[in-house]
Structure 1
């Protein structure tokens, strides 16, 4: 008969093969390997029983036959006319609901001095086990050795997976060294002190900050300075998880737990055991998944979907979000108890506009990366470009600066007549494609115009970028951004969301920029 198993992991396949061998030696019509989980016996492999047996759970107290076998040090053969109810009534293939008189024996299985579970063997013909009864202890020892081997193989596989996760976390993209938190501004010095204070503790940290400020780098620094630095740092982007798969990704699942679960898998909590789990964009998780995450944080126990087995994990959690979680709690979109569990030690990462001349240190580091990526030598920022970079509001923060520098480096490298070094000039920074996304003022001789639209200020964008005597570069930048946003809102029927999409910006950052420029008042109803 075909062996059914609860999953298709290597461990489950070994259980099935082991059970098939023992069943053949005993000439049994049915056999089962059950793992003890607390006070419940859970089938991990069966033969001669229907598939329904795999979904059953057998509380020891409710099944006196199984309880009796578990209490027998060397195992026991029950009398053929035993009056104790049989747990497999209705589960033996092609047999009546109540089993007739038959042969039954079983033995407890020990692993590392603890009861691992139970082996049961059944024969429909009484007296079948007369010749093998004395071999029951030897059969049990054989199964124990097989279980120990399967556990060792699983431990090696888990170790390899953790090593892979550690390598991925430390190697970044495999082509460049992991980035560091750069900057000497007072805001960054405060952040560095806070990281040094909390890193060596086991406290849960909630990293707060706008999109693109470098929350992932903060998480990496926290892990690198922690006592868990030699263990894996496992990252989960919660915003990229479909709601239907978020639970499986975090906690794992057993085969058949849901449609498409063709094999068992370990979740991120198990992979991060002993190390750190970084939950990026944790504010994007649905309320049901939040409830399950809270349980793990409270108890340190993970229960995979489709399994009654509880796995203990030792994981330090670092979470990050660009949302105002306190406001999300007030709006009913985030659990208050989970918020307090995550924010034991909140860390705020300052936006680029609060970091002063750090923008130049970051720009130089991005230029260094682009030199290697583009095969260009000696990329440098001209004095005029440095002055220009210190002006914008940087709604996209460090990520926006990185993309701007990459585009500028590419444009500068493609120009003819390069000398010993390639200068990044304002015209490279203020390319036409950058105007909306980076908020850079136009530096080209000819004014940039936009299609006329209802609601445009007189002169439109052309007027906004014209030189005005006595106007600072920051004032000129604001004037251009204000004119561009007004024109975009006019084109999109005052929809802030549509204008943000055209600008290639995150909606919240776009709204923040518009509000700073005095354009958001009265438009809150057009955010969708």
Structure 2
């Protein structure tokens, strides 16, 4: 019985993502439908928390209620509501159902219900069925009967997540009683590296320690700095962002600490600096490694005793400011080179936090891509915007030197190209690999694939004398040649067997010296 399954899960020790995923999976099996989604209301948007039967990048999308009349109608009703197969209201999952990727949904039924937790609207539950008549009167009654159990699962999951966070903070920082605000910052992803990072941020946010965020260009250091501030005791006070790389050497001191009248030509009056503006709150020093040495000495004084001195003034001023710094440079190397003060480095790096690059975050790239796809869909007024399976694979395999910022630009550029090439705004726009224009993508071919397909497997008995690149080339060459042999020289079918885009297969084959005959 469905209730027994939900009750069993409630008594099990499960994390929030796993519990939510098991919930939608069980509901999909129970109603024998094509897709189920659980969406949480955040302001005027609904964000998917768990999906089953919907493409993975849906977890990164955010659906504006005003732009999706079906979702708005579900929120407006207290009980289950059904959209019949001939409903004229657009479906928010058009082109996103696993069994019809990139295609308009065929005639189908939809059903949904509003979910309430502790007397407030929490979100919605939606169900899609490709068979007309699936959501009949009996199905609506069944959903109404199970609604309380679903709401109980959501409520227990929220409470357990809060308790886990509180236990972590108390174990890591004895005596701490405050619980960080949930949902602070728009940080997407469920990979192990990002989960560990968010836990670490929650622990250090409640302290007054300086934090040094380390990471490559484009990983989102500013976003994580905002998260730290929002989860801290200073969250109701200002967060002042300073881009140190944009400060001219001659003005850096004045910008940070202010100046007195007559301090320099053009200083016609007193002017407070960024530290005074942030009094009681937080200063975020982005690209701190770019600060001139003379300004570094003044910053060290502020960190040591909480004092600043306006340029041209003899009177020190007290400020109560927490410092979060960020850099994509190796500060230890800068110290060795003499361009960064060692004492300032040690002050700033009381609690260094490395931010993982996108290439180490697994399928988070698809979740983030989903967010950018939905933003561009709304911006361009498209019916639906999604990725082809080949494009998803390309995103997973790309190295992302520019990280999340580069991903955002890639998706935005691809969407604009699609529209500029005459794609209709009322069509389902599917972005394939060539639209992404990613250089250096090579198939992650698996030499064992030929054995699984019935070809004799080449054992590892022979030692390979050469570089790692030579070994990889040999492995890829063997896999491509075997796939072509199995498909009678048909490059398109060989590409599908290897799970790569056909054009990329031809490029790789040319580099490996395989004659790129197109065959059939």
Output the TM-score relative to the length of structure 1: 0.49
| Greater Rg over alpha carbons, structure | 1
Greater RCO, 1 or 2 (C-alpha within 8 Å, sep 6+): 2
